Amino acid sequence: MDNYAGVDWASEKHDVVVQDEAGEELLAASFAHDEKGLRSLCRTLARLKVTLVAIERPDGLLVERLLDAGLRLLPLHPNQVAATRARFRAAGGKSDRFDAFVLCELARTDHHRFRVLEPDSDQTKALRAMTRAREDLVQTRVALTNQLRAELERFWPGPIGLFSDLDNLTSLAFLKRYPSPADTHGLGEQRLQAFLTRHRYSGHKPASELLAKLRRAPEGRAGELEGQAHRAIVLSLVAALEPIVAQIKQLERQIATAIREHPDGEIFTSLFRSPRSVITAATMLAEMGDCRARYPTRDALAGDAGQAAVALESGKRKVACFRWACNKRLRDAFDTLADSSRHHNPWAADHYARAIGRGHDHPRATRTLGRAWCRVVWSCWQTRTPYDAARHRALQQHMLVTVPTPSGPVPDTAATQRMLGVAVTRQGRPQARAQRA
């Protein structure tokens, strides 16, 4: 007889309900989120011979400990659990113990409707940790940069737009040396040129042009104390941004190394033309994982990646709506792949153009192309084969050249191969440069 468990996790304690196949309650308890509590939880579930544990998250310390104890996990989306509560409680109440009961019931009665969690390899988990950490750091960098820009606009907008980005290392070094208009009174063309040389400026703009742009900016009329306060704030924000920018660059180097060493790394890097797209390729790999059973069909991948619309049908009304419940990071990665490929891949450009011709706006046309890419990526991922434009059937059909004959059009194999060869060469040239580097 199989036993089932539902775990409502929290930051300080975890409520657990265990039932047998008939729904008879075997355990209802809480375990602290500490080493002693986690060990007790795993031992208790093993002693009760639990075969399946339902929980509202697919990763984390608790999930890792349950997997390490040899338990099979059923990760459920919170929306699925919320929609099920009404089956057992009409009054609309909610508690942690009741949520654990709902999870246990779903594991007992509806486990065949969900997929069991398939753990990824250590390499994939490490790559996922790095890409998500970089994403968090980028969000922090953007927030601090916006705060710095707002501060400069209040009293000295000159440095804004002086360099390519306000948060690049050259711009931060300039603000660190010249945080206020008063600090630039002795700044001349020679001194600015020496600064640019020292920081390896590569913007291809002469010092005279940058200095003139800086001088044209309006200056505020803040008093002495207010000016000193603004200067101190700029220095504080620059001091906070510099290590974050440096850590992002270091993480990007580590991610590039990790995806090259990953067994599936070549599959995802082959999808992108530019070597600079390594972060998107790494994100796609990390979020899809390396367990092929996670996405048994290409439609499952398209749904989780947010590229497939949600159909709403009632009577004569039938509409396709945006899919909100999906893996947001995976959706962004496929959107980037679709949007970048339409500029160099003839098949992708045609697919996007046809979507625009049907009246779709840019985001929806990009998702339409992204769903087509899901089919390609899923096939490459399942067969462990890097993307090869010469073997892409849809691209071959798009590049097909025919010649008219009395009996009808006939494919011109030689011309088709030449056309396809040009597309393949354009696709592979940047990647070859990246491999040589």
Q: Write out pLDDT tens, residues 127-182.
A: 999 999 999 999 999 999 999 999 999 989 999 989 989 999 999 999 999 999 98
Instruction: Tell me the mean pLDDT in the region 365-383.
Output: 96
pLDDT of residue 232: 95
What pLDDT, in 10s, does the model give residues 30-71?
A: 999 999 999 999 999 999 999 999 999 988 899 999 999 999
Q: pLDDT at residue 308 above 90?
A: yes
Between the alpha carbon of residue 59 and those of residues 65, 117, 160, 238, the distances in Å are 10, 9, 41, 35
246 falls in which pLDDT band (50, 70, 90)? very high
Own/partner pairs, 420-423, CB within 8 angstroms, 24+ separation: 420/389, 420/390, 420/395, 420/396, 421/390, 423/345, 423/346, 423/389, 423/395, 423/399
Per-residue burial over 243-256, b = 16 or more CB atoms within 10 Å of its CB, e = otherwise: ebbeebeebbeebb
Residue 429 Cα distances to 210, 270, 279, 426, angstroms: 36, 11, 19, 6
Q: Which residue has the higher pLDDT, 375 or 426?
A: 375
pLDDT for the residue numbered 119: 87
Residue 90: its pLDDT value, please? 74
Using a CB cutoff of 8 Å and minimum separation of 24, what contacts does 200-203 make?
200/170, 201/163, 201/170, 203/163, 203/164, 203/170
> Two tokens at 391?
């073997």
Q: Give the lowest-confidence range in 166-175, 236-245, 360-369, 411-420.
A: 411-420
Distance (Å) of CA 300 to CA 59, 83, 95, 110, 288: 20, 21, 32, 19, 11
Average pLDDT over residues 328-352: 93
Average pLDDT over residues 268-288: 92
Supply the pLDDT for residue 237. 97
- Residue 3, amino acid: N
pLDDT at 394: 79
Cα diameter, the chain: 89
pLDDT over 90 percentage in the chain: 68
* Count helices and strands in the chain by DSSP H and E runs: 17, 9
Q: State the pLDDT at residue 434.
A: 37
Alpha-carbon distance 110 to 356, whole Å?
41
User: Which stretches within 20-114 are classed as H helix?
Assistant: 35-47, 61-68, 78-84, 96-109
Higher pLDDT, 420 or 260: 260
Q: What is the pLDDT of residue 316?
A: 85
* 294 contacts 315 by C-beta, under 8 angstroms: no
For residue range 169-182, what is the model confidence (pLDDT) as tens digits? 999 999 999 999 98
Which run of H or of E encompasses 19?
Answer: strand 13-20
Q: What is the pLDDT of residue 436?
A: 32
Specify burial of residue 373 (Cβ count, 10 A radius: 0-12, 13-18, 19+). Answer: buried
Does domain 3-113 fall under CATH 3.30.420.10? My reply is yes
pLDDT at residue 34, rounded to an integer:
95
Q: What is the pTM of this model?
A: 0.83
Task: Give the residue range(s) of CATH 3.30.420.10 domains in the chain.
Answer: 3-113
CA gap 312, 325 in Å, rounded: 15
What is the SS3 assignment for 345? coil
Query: pLDDT averaged over the chain?
Result: 89
Long-range contacts of 1-4 (CB under 8 A, 24+ apart): 2/51, 2/52, 3/48, 3/49, 3/50, 3/51, 4/50, 4/51, 4/52, 4/53, 4/54, 4/104, 4/107, 4/108, 4/111
- Lowest-confidence region among 39-43, 235-239, 301-305, 424-428: 424-428
Residue 430 predicted with pLDDT over 70? no
CA distance linking residue 134 with residue 10, whole number of Å: 25
User: How much is the pLDDT for 422?
Assistant: 53
| CA neighbours closer than 13 Å in the CB half-sphere of residue 89 | 15
- Tokens of residue 153, six digits: 């606009």
pLDDT range class, residue 408, cuts 50, 70, 90: low
Instruction: Give 56-67 pLDDT, tens digit per residue.
Output: 998 889 999 999
User: At 393, is the pLDDT very low, low, confident or very high (cuts 50, 70, 90)?
Assistant: confident
Q: What is the pLDDT of residue 431?
A: 40
Looking at the domain covering 125-259, what would its CATH class be? mainly alpha
SS3 52: strand
CATH 1.10.287 residue ranges for the chain? 125-259
Query: Can you give the pLDDT at residue 23?
Result: 93
- Are 402 and 396 within 8 A, CB to CB? no
Distance, in Å, from the CA atom of 347 to the CA atom of 393, rounded to the nearest integer, reads 10
96: nearest Cα among 156, 17, 20, 173: 17
The more confidently predicted of residues 88 and 32 is 32
